[in-house]
């Protein structure tokens, strides 16, 4: 992908600015019900109804997720949707016992991963300047950048899923080493966390745990 220049660049910037102004004029903010749905009253779920999640809906969730910001538009996250019995059996090898049923009964379990060599795609994603030298031959820096930004994308993914009507249950009680061996052997992908997707059976919920108040978690400098 070539970087825009001259009049084409000016036109593209003007179009982007006009689109943003139009969006803010149409919808200055989400209402409280929408905020409740995606975060404030949302819950992590552990039990699921027997309702499938369509591939089309997964496409929609990804498209929303991909719109979220990442450093240098690097987009290092990769999403593997585990839906088959065979895939679930392979993933179960990595899970702590208490998490196996949560995963096996979910219609979809996403492996949120990151590509350690994401930077090779920067000419397409960030075409106006070649940033590959920032990462080429610097694996530690590339890994930190990939992990940080893919984690952000994982959060966008969860919010996007809730926004289109699904429920989510993120999990970290598993072995990354086993997941990487089962699903990413011979590749530059590495797992971060897992996220079950579906329509929740709310009968498994318990009371919501506390959160820190503003003064406990926030300060000014």
Residue 54 has a pLDDT of 97
pLDDT at 137 over 90: yes
**Residue 101 and residue 167 share a domain:** yes
What lies within 8 Å, CB to CB, of 87 at 6+ separation is none
Average the pLDDT over 123-138 and give the result: 96
**Residue 16 and residue 77 share a domain:** no
**Residue 185 and residue 126 share a domain:** yes
**Residue 71 and residue 6 share a domain:** no
**Residue 89 and residue 164 share a domain:** yes
| Residue 93: both structure tokens together | 């090898």
Q: Say if 1 falls within a structural domain.
A: yes
**Residue 74 and residue 15 share a domain:** no
The mean pLDDT of the chain is 96
What lies within 8 Å, CB to CB, of 90 at 6+ separation is 82, 182, 183
Bridge-based pairing state of the strands 167-171 and 189-198: antiparallel
pTM of this prediction? 0.94
pLDDT at 174 over 90: yes
What lies within 8 Å, CB to CB, of 211 at 6+ separation is none
**Residue 196 and residue 93 share a domain:** yes
Residue 99 has a pLDDT of 96
User: Domain range holding 120?
Assistant: 43-202
Which residues on adjacent β-strands are paired with residue 114? 77, 190
Q: Say if 35 falls within a structural domain.
A: no
Q: Say if 38 falls within a structural domain.
A: no
Q: Say if 62 falls within a structural domain.
A: yes
Average the pLDDT over 125-149 and give the result: 97
**Residue 70 and residue 114 share a domain:** yes
CATH code where residue 62 lies: 3.40.109.10
**Residue 87 and residue 187 share a domain:** yes
pLDDT at 46 over 90: yes
What lies within 8 Å, CB to CB, of 195 at 6+ separation is 109, 110, 112, 154, 157, 158, 161, 168, 169, 170, 171
Residue 2 has a pLDDT of 78
pLDDT at 40 over 70: yes
Q: Say if 213 falls within a structural domain.
A: no
Look up residue 126 and give its DSSP letter.
S
pLDDT at 4 over 90: no
Write out pLDDT tens, residues 50-104: 999 999 999 999 999 999 999 999 999 999 999 999 999 999 999 999 999 999 9
**Residue 53 and residue 19 share a domain:** no
Domain count for the chain: 2
Which residues on adjacent β-strands are paired with residue 81? 110
Q: Say if 113 falls within a structural domain.
A: yes
Q: Say if 217 falls within a structural domain.
A: no
Place of tokens 């009680």: 173
Residue 1 has a pLDDT of 62
pLDDT at 197 over 80: yes
Residue 3 has a pLDDT of 86
Q: Say if 94 falls within a structural domain.
A: yes
**Residue 160 and residue 79 share a domain:** yes
Residue 37 has a pLDDT of 97
Closest Cα to residue 195, out of 110, 104, 81?
110
By residue count, the chain amounts to: 221
pLDDT at 189 over 80: yes
| Residue 41: both structure tokens together | 């009253």
**Residue 85 and residue 11 share a domain:** no
Q: pLDDT band at 136, cuts 50/70/90?
A: very high
């Amino acid at each position: 992908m070539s970087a825009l220049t001259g009049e084409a660049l000016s036109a593209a910037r003007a179009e982007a600015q006009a689109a943003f102004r139009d969006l803010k004029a149409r919808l200055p903010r989400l209402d409280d019900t929408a905020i409740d749905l995606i975060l404030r009253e949302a819950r992590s779920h552990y039990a699921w109804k027997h309702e499938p999640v369509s591939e089309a809906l997964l496409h929609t969730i990804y498209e929303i997720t991909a719109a979220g910001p990442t450093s240098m538009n690097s987009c290092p996250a990769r999403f593997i949707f585990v839906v088959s019995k065979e895939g679930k059996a392979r993933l179960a090898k990595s899970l702590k016992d208490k998490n196996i049923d949560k995963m096996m009964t979910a219609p979809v379990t996403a492996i949120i991963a990151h590509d350690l060599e994401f930077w090779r795609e920067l000419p397409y994603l960030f075409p106006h300047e070649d940033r590959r030298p920032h990462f080429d031959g610097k694996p530690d820096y590339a890994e930190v950048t990939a992990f940080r930004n893919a984690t952000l994308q994982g959060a966008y993914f969860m919010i996007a899923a809730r926004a289109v009507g699904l429920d989510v249950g993120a999990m970290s009680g598993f072995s990354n080493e086993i997941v990487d061996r089962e699903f990413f052997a011979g590749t530059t992908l590495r797992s971060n966390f897992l996220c079950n997707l579906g329509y929740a059976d709310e009968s498994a919920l318990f009371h919501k745990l506390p959160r820190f108040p503003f003064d406990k978690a926030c300060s000014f400098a």
